[in-house]
């Protein structure tokens, strides 16, 4: 009887324990469920216009995206989304949100989103512009900054720049009173400078060969850039890429073959030169062109050497030729356009040149840092007509948040510098051409990307590495043209300030201007 009572007591205890445990678990489950229900949902996607099923907003896109996106920003605010086929696109239109992208979340947004044409044209994205963030990109960026575009190397190449600018001045002098295509003049000068810096030492004194190669690149350069910026249905519907409906892939592959036919013989010649030098005693300070620098690095047994092969070298050389020529020539044309449209500002530039350079001398690079007003004119032109109005699109490596909105992984993200540079909230009278706004600035408004109101070359780790060369050449060419000549439009011509479709913002109508001599001594033109 006693044993039965003890067993009964134990059963009651176990039952009580079981009941308590069940109640505790139920309470914990209810608490967890309540907590989960209270957890804030993820932030929404940015606002944006609606589109059609499957194709999204594609049928509504207008040709000049920077204008269209700026109009949409007025309606949907500083950040908006578009569904373009299978691709989600987000456009950022304010400096504060641009800062979140290029500074606060710089590592996440360090990847590019190149079109198919861009990947093919850069040998599989092996160049510095489109290469994905990682070890390879870091190594080739070091090569650009430390080896090729260092201050010492740019100083060593000064004579190339000087000679080509003087050639341009002599060419214009021979055409006094005749219309001159400014973009063609600037492009020819730039391509000759760049090609001399890339392989001038490799080809030696064969100026005819260098000029021939420059002419070949001038022929393909505009087509190459236009093809990268051309809308391609395969970029919006990746599953259509293998069909190549617009023939973009095939045309770019043909273009690469043309580039190979130019590059390969020069690279072979450069290899011979490097091999000969490695077997002989050479001075450390012997002048080298960019190709020789790359080929010597390729033969080294370090990270830089392991990153470089012939495809990578060609991709990097193409970066310099295209990036160092097309955008700079375009900006020379825009600056001359704005000055011809504002003759009183052109007079101020020429007065500064008279004071700094004098009328019995020619412009040299030593004068450039002193040309403060011309520098302000160039910056104001970049503000109104940025060479890359949407920069190069970025692609987040993981889902993140910008401006309180969710930006999913692999979204195509544009920074709309065209809208930011013309924002009434950021700039006083933003549509007026006023270089004075860039004078006497105590901080920020330069090309380094620190002031997010003004980012013509981008910001953060993917900022353009060619800024030092581009800045030198822009001021040098412009200063020389404006110091040596007076300029006016051909009789009966009216100024056209409209811009056209493309990755790089170019004038719809090329600028043609007529020169007249300014310098009193004709020998200064020689």
CATH number at residue 393: 1.10.630.10
Tens digit of each residue's pLDDT, the chain (526 residues): 444 444 455 666 555 555 656 566 666 666 666 655 556 688 999 999 999 999 999 999 998 999 999 999 999 999 999 999 999 999 999 999 999 999 999 999 999 999 999 999 999 999 999 999 999 999 999 998 888 888 888 888 898 899 999 999 999 999 999 999 999 999 999 998 888 888 887 877 667 777 788 888 888 888 898 899 889 999 999 999 999 999 999 999 999 999 999 999 999 999 988 887 766 655 555 667 889 999 999 888 777 777 889 999 999 999 888 888 889 999 999 999 999 999 999 999 999 999 999 999 999 999 999 999 999 999 999 999 999 999 999 999 999 999 999 999 999 999 999 999 999 999 999 999 999 999 976 556 899 999 999 999 999 999 999 999 999 999 999 999 999 999 999 999 999 999 987 788 899 999 999 999 999 999 999 8
Question: Tokens representing 220?
Answer: 């393909």
- Domain ranges, residue 252: 58-525
Q: Please count the structural domains in the chain.
A: 1
Beta bridge pairs of residue 407:
400
Decide if 206 is inside a domain: yes
Q: What is d(CA 412, CA 487) in angstroms, rounded to the nearest whole number? A: 43
Decide if 3 is inside a domain: no
**pLDDT at position 4:** 45
Q: Are strands 87-92 and 412-415 parallel, antiparallel or unpaired?
A: parallel
Beta bridge pairs of residue 112:
394
Nearest by Cα to 415 from 107, 112, 147: 112
Decide if 138 is inside a domain: yes
**pLDDT at position 417:** 97
Decide if 24 is inside a domain: no
**pLDDT at position 132:** 95
Question: Exposed (0-12), middle (13-18) or buried (19+): which is 33, by Cβ within 10 Å?
Answer: exposed
Decide if 25 is inside a domain: no
Residue 399, sorted as left (phi over 0), alpha (psi -120 to 50) or beta, turns out to be beta
Decide if 485 is inside a domain: yes
Decide if 445 is inside a domain: yes
- Among all chains, which residue has been given the structure tokens 């930006």? 407
Decide if 200 is inside a domain: yes
Q: What is d(CA 9, CA 19) in angstroms, rounded to the nearest whole number? A: 15
């Amino acid at each position: 009887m006693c044993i039965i009572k003890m067993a009964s007591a134990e059963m009651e205890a176990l039952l009580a324990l079981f009941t308590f445990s069940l109640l505790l678990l139920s309470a914990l489950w209810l608490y967890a469920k309540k907590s989960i229900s209270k957890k804030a949902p993820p932030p929404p996607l940015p606002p944006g216009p609606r589109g059609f099923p499957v194709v999204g907003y594609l049928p509504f896109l207008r040709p000049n995206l920077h204008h269209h996106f700026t109009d949409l920003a007025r309606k949907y605010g500083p950040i908006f989304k578009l569904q373009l086929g299978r691709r989600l696109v987000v456009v950022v239109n304010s400096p504060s949100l641009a800062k979140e992208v290029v500074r606060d979340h710089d590592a996440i947004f360090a990847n590019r989103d190149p079109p198919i044409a861009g990947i093919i044209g850069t040998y599989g994205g092996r160049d510095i512009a489109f290469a994905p963030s990682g070890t390879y990109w870091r190594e080739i960026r070091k090569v650009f900054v430390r080896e090729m575009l260092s201050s010492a190397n740019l100083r060593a190449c000064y004579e190339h720049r000087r000679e080509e600018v003087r050639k341009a001045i002599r060419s214009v002098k021979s055409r006094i009173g005749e219309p001159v295509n400014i973009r063609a003049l600037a492009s020819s000068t730039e391509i000759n400078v760049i090609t001399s810096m890339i392989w001038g030492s490799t080809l030696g004194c064969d100026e005819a060969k260098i000029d021939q190669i420059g002419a070949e690149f001038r022929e393909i350069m505009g087509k190459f850039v236009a093809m990268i910026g051309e809308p391609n249905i395969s970029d919006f519907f990746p599953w259509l890429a293998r069909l190549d409906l617009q023939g973009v892939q095939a045309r770019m592959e043909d273009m690469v073959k043309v580039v190979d036919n130019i590059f390969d013989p020069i690279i072979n010649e450069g290899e011979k030169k490097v091999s000969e030098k490695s077997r002989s005693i050479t001075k450390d300070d012997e002048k080298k062109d960019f190709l020789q620098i790359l080929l010597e690095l390729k033969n080294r047994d370090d990270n830089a050497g392991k990153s470089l092969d012939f495809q990578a070298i060609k991709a990097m050389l193409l970066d310099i030729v295209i990036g160092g020529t097309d955008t700079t020539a375009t900006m020379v044309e825009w600056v001359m356009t704005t000055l011809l449209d504002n003759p009183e500002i052109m007079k101020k530039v020429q007065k500064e040149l008279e004071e700094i350079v004098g009328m019995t001398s020619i412009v040299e690079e030593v004068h450039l840092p002193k040309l403060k007003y011309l520098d302000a004119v160039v910056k104001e032109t970049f503000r109104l007509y940025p060479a890359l109005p949407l920069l190069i699109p970025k692609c987040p490596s993981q889902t993140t948040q910008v401006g309180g909105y969710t930006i999913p992984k692999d979204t195509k993200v544009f920074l709309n510098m065209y809208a930011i540079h013309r924002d009434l909230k950021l700039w006083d009278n933003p549509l007026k051409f006023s270089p004075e706004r860039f004078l006497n600035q105590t901080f920020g408004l330069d090309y380094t990307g620190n002031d997010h109101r003004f980012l013509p070359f981008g910001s953060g780790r993917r900022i353009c590495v060619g800024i030092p060369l581009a800045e030198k050449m822009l001021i040098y060419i412009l200063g020389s043209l404006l110091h040596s000549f007076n300029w006016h439009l051909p009789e009966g011509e009216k100024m056209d300030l409209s811009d056209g479709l493309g990755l790089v913002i170019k004038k719809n109508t090329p600028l043609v201007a007529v020169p007249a001599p300014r310098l009193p001594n004709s020998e200064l033109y020689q």
